[in-house]
Amino acid sequence: MTTTLTGPQIKTRLPGPKAKAIIDRDASVVSPSYTRCYPLVMERGYGAMVEDVDGNVFLDCAAGIAVNATGHSHPEVVRAVTEQAQRFLHMSGTDFYYEPQVRLAEDLAALAPIDGGVRSFFGNSGTEAIEACVKLARYSTKRDNIVAFLGGFHGRTLGALSLTASKAIQRRGFGPMMAGVYHAPYADCYRCPLGLNASSCAAECLDYLEQQIFVHLVSPDEVAAIVVEPIQGEGGYVVPPDQFIQRLREIANTHGILFVADEVQSGMGRTGRMFAMEHTGARPDMIAIAKGIASGLPLGVAAARKDLMAWPPGAHASTFGGNPVSCAAAIVTLRLLKERLMANAAEVGGYLMAALKGLMDKHRLIGDVRGRGLMIGVELVRDRQTKARAPEERDAVVAAAFARGLLLLGAGKNSIRFSPPLVLTREQADTAVRIFDDALADVGREKR
């Protein structure tokens, strides 16, 4: 693939013969629990472009589920990874010291919107970051219970899964869940869970938490933490009003509850700020970080107020967490985000958002376009008045886009997420919108 290539090139039927052979092998030996949306078999990538094993080239607006923040194989990240790998691959930060882990913790302490100094615990994934936050919240407050939100996604290990309330299939067959988790309505003002007007939805959702959950189910003085995504990711790229997050912070303060921001998908520059919480002005006690932090290498971080992260040696640890190669990638990733890519996410994200909203007059399938920066969700509906969901049409649009060389992923029941690498250009955004427009037209014709 040439580094100047900016547009898709589809050369074979999809999947091509090499891709099909690999997919057939996969079916015999890999867990069927993975949710493959379409038959892409990647060979290489550069920036926002991906080439498959048959030479077909795609524009990537999925970024490995919002992971490849600096684009595929950014040369500076590759250089840092190579140099660190040549020095040493592993020494376990649980039992030994190495400078990349310390330096990354220092960088995060300077960036995290947490008051009172910051310490970081390093794991391998977003799920592990959430597990660390939950354990630390229980340990430091000596309380047992957690409040999470309907539509939220926090991971798939049993503790994180207990907080997750995005899709029933994610929980089905794995019960009983961890005790002490209570789910409140999330401020999805496009389709208010309490059936109210958008102007009052944010406040009413939290009235439900205070007047129903805290009265009938659990006393707030027994709640260790409120865990919330400032923008719901897997739940549909739902952006709540700032008031919702701000009032949650106030409720936590009132009752001595720790406020935990799950920034696994919304963090690391994706929204045009390093963390989505920064748009609201509310400052959490802990932040769960992963996905975009290391440009594709596995790394999860639980960043917390310094006085909270005071548990003793042996209380929590991870053999592979904070791997030196991942830390090296993360250090460069943070620098690139600060230097240019965070600003690019804001600029190109605003441009892409406006272009996608411009398709609403043309395509009645689009019910809502929302997001911040390069974290944009398009919700498809069968009727704008009733807001009847269009899950089958959503899947068909994603497939039609793939056939034209655009990689997208669904989110929630009927939304499509645009979460490209933060290197996306305006020209590439134009290409994405053009292909998306064509895909919507195809599915619209089939619907008629």
Task: Retrieve residue 80's tokens.
Answer: 């840092």
281 and 251 together in one domain: yes
Query: Are residues 102 and 214 located together in one domain of the fold?
Result: yes
Strand ranges (E), 69-133: 118-123
331 within some domain: no
The model's pTM: 0.95
Evaluate whether 205 touches 186 at the Cβ level (below 8 Å): yes
Whether residue 354 is contained in a domain is answered as yes
Percent of the chain past pLDDT 70, that is, above it, reads: 98
Residues 50 and 105 in one domain: no
The answer to whether residue 332 is domain-embedded is no
Residue ranges with strand state E in 239-396: 258-262, 286-289, 300-305, 366-372, 375-383, 388-389
The reported pLDDT for the residue numbered 266 is: 98
417, 345: one domain = yes
Q: Is 236 helix (H, G, I), strand (E, B) or coil?
A: coil
Mark which of 271, 289, 322 sits at the end of a domain: 322
Helix-helix angle 426-447:342-358, to 10 degrees = 30
- Tokens 């008031």 correspond to 243
Three-state DSSP at 132 gives: helix
Q: Is the pLDDT of residue 2 over 50?
A: no
How confident is the model over 396-423, as pLDDT tens digits? 999 999 999 999 999 999 999 999 999 9
Enclosing domain of residue 43? 17-74+340-447
Tell me, what's the pLDDT at 448?
Answer: 58
Is residue 185 included in any domain, yes or no? yes
| Residue 56 is assigned to a structural domain of this protein | yes
226 and 363 share a domain?
Answer: no
Within this chain, do residues 366 and 311 fall inside the same structural domain, yes or no? Answer: no
- pLDDT at residue 205, as a whole number: 85
Q: Please report whether residue 285 resides in a domain.
A: yes
Q: Do 198 and 300 reside in the same domain of the chain?
A: yes
